[in-house]
Chains A and B, each alone.
Chain A
Amino acid sequence: MYKLRDKYAIVGIGNTEYSKESGRTVRSLASEACLKAIADAGLKVSDVDGIISFNFNDSAPAIGVATELGIENAGYAVDYAAGGNGANLITLAAAAAIEAGLAETVVCFRAMNGRSGFRLGGGRDMSAYGVTQYTAPLGWITYPQAMAMWARRHMIDYGTGPEHWVEIATTFRDNATRNPRAMQRKPMSRDDYFNARPIVDPFRMFDICLESDGACAVVITSAERARDLPHKPVYIMGGAYGGGPSQGDDLFDAIRWPSHSHNCFKYLADDLWRSAGIGPQDVDVAQIYDCFTYSVVMALEGLGFCKEGEGGPFVMDGRIRRDGALPLNTAGGLLSEAYIHGFNHVLEAVEQLRGDAGERQIEGAEICLTTAGAMTCGSAMILRN
């Protein structure tokens, strides 16, 4: 269990434009986000001695970005082999590295040309070795195809489906209309959702997140040091990483997973809440990894906001809207803001807790949950101001 409650804080955030075609190298996107985050923290590059990223599919190596930034002593420069599960993992890893004395101030980033470069939704490596020898030859190749298998099973077991998912898609789009960074700001109606073309049953187009070029970064340092910096520190209360048994080789390898009606969050919930010393009822606002609409349902169930199977009804009746009891994905999420592999959720959490979210601000937000991942392995954090 994560044992560093409130000892470390996010003190700076930075991001590039989110676009369909950056026209730039991934490294330059990473460098821009990191430099902005370091400046936002009121620090100089020479104050930073650690740099962490995660690199599934497309990234720039941490040591390469450290070189472009001009970090003279990148004592802890590490790329985690992680994907959708990585955003909170690397942030927690930064705190752990500082606690261990491996660094004092760490910048964490995620950078990708996820639309103009390696398209996550438009195909993938067509190779069929390792576990993909049992999947790709069946025409089971893209992320939406992988995740639809889980969504279907939740439908079978609990009757969850488009009537619930439409509420998620339209709520997050409404949030995105208040976010100048969001890639999709055009309002989405219920009819827009149901009339969109089917991609892979049971998913329609708006069940599936965006593909984006861009980068996000955050700066982590000790709570002591944070108090001398310009912004209100956002403290890491708690966090958890992992999943359950038989997590598999990759996202298609959930073949041995116990039940496709729950995901990793069921297994890390206890650690998460115990590490922070709070429970789901204490969360003011949450940024849930929404690579697909259904993954929001499964995260809410797994983390104990409701029982397994009740996530569909739970998201209805305005509960997750910005004026509801549990506002979710206040910037629009991966479905409508951008897909920076979930790292944009961490930035939105920080802005909400600083009170800097402008038109998107949830009044009185003091505790924010962020999650990353949707299948067998994930990470989550509890942040507070």
Chain B
Amino acid sequence: MDMPVSAYEGPLPVPDPESTPFWEGLRAHRLMLQRCASSGDYLFPPVTFCPGSLERPEWVEASGRGTVFSWIVVRHPVPRDIYADKVPYVVALVTLDEGCRMTANIVGCAPEDVRAGMPVEIVYNPVTPTITLPAFRPTGG
């Protein structure tokens, strides 16, 4: 699902050699994650080496499903000129079904209704022609 595009004034991610597949994936509405083949562990944020070795992680498409690990509700906008009409908004750490955590906004429910362990699924938030930000909404919402 796409979120509606509005004029985006917030910070824009600067993809680097480690993160480019992640951002290119989101642009194509796919959540791409790194996995270390030897351990089976998924990694976020992206890195160049699997922990403790020179092994290179592989990129695989993730399910886009997880549960809310922790979250905040931003009520005081900082900086005001960017976020005054965005508050309140929710930022969360989501534990993906693949086992690693990921950062994203929570949309599609009131901030007061977010709960720990709540099942969520990814939605794609295109903010510029090249950058799509990740968000999650309650599963089935």
Residues of A within 8 A of B (CB): 121-123, 126-142, 145, 148-150, 152-153, 156, 197-202, 253, 255-256, 260
Contact = CB atoms under 8 A, between A and B. Distances in A.
B60 to A, nearest CB: 18
Of A137, A138, A153, most B-chain CB atoms within 10 Å:
A138
Nearest to A154: B70
Given A123-B79, A129-B14, A139-B83, A253 B45 contact: yes
Contact of A199 (B15, B70, B76, B105): B76
Given A133-B19, A137-B13, A260-B70, A200 B76 contact: yes
Contacts of B131: 137
Given A133-B15, A255-B44, A152 B10 contact: no
Given A129-B16, A199-B75, 4 more contacts: A129-B14, A136-B11, A137-B131, A260-B69
26 contacts: A126-B79, A128-B11, A134-B13, A137-B11, A137-B133, A138-B105, A139-B74, A139-B82, A139-B89, A139-B91, A139-B105, A141-B11, A142-B78, A145-B72, A149-B71, A149-B72, A152-B71, A156-B70, A198-B76, A200-B74, A200-B76, A201-B72, A201-B111, A202-B72, A256-B100, A256-B101
Nearest to B19: A133
Contacts of A133: 13-16, 19
B72 A148 contact: yes
Contact of A201 (B13, B19, B75, B93): B75
Contacts of B74: 139, 145, 200
B73 interface: yes
B36 interface: no
Interface residues of B, number: 38
Contact of B70 (A129, A130, A132, A152): A152
Contact of B12 (A123, A128, A134, A201): A128
Contact of A140 (B19, B103, B111, B127): B103
Given A139-B83, A140-B91, A255 B11 contact: no
A132 to B, nearest CB: 8
A123 B78 contact: yes
A151 to B, nearest CB: 9
Contact of A145 (B13, B14, B70, B91): B91
Interface string B9-27: 0111111100100000000
Contacts of B62: none
B59 to A, nearest CB: 16
A129 B103 CA distance: 15
A197 B86 CA distance: 17
A127 B70 contact: no
Contact of B101 (A140, A156, A255): A255
Contacts of A152: 70-72
A150 B70 CA distance: 8
A141 B93 CA distance: 14
Of A121, A131, A255, most B-chain CB atoms within 10 Å:
A255
Contacts of B45: 131, 134, 253, 255
B76 A138 contact: no
Contacts of B10: 136-137, 139
A156 B86 CA distance: 26
Interface string B108-138: 0001000010000000000100010100000
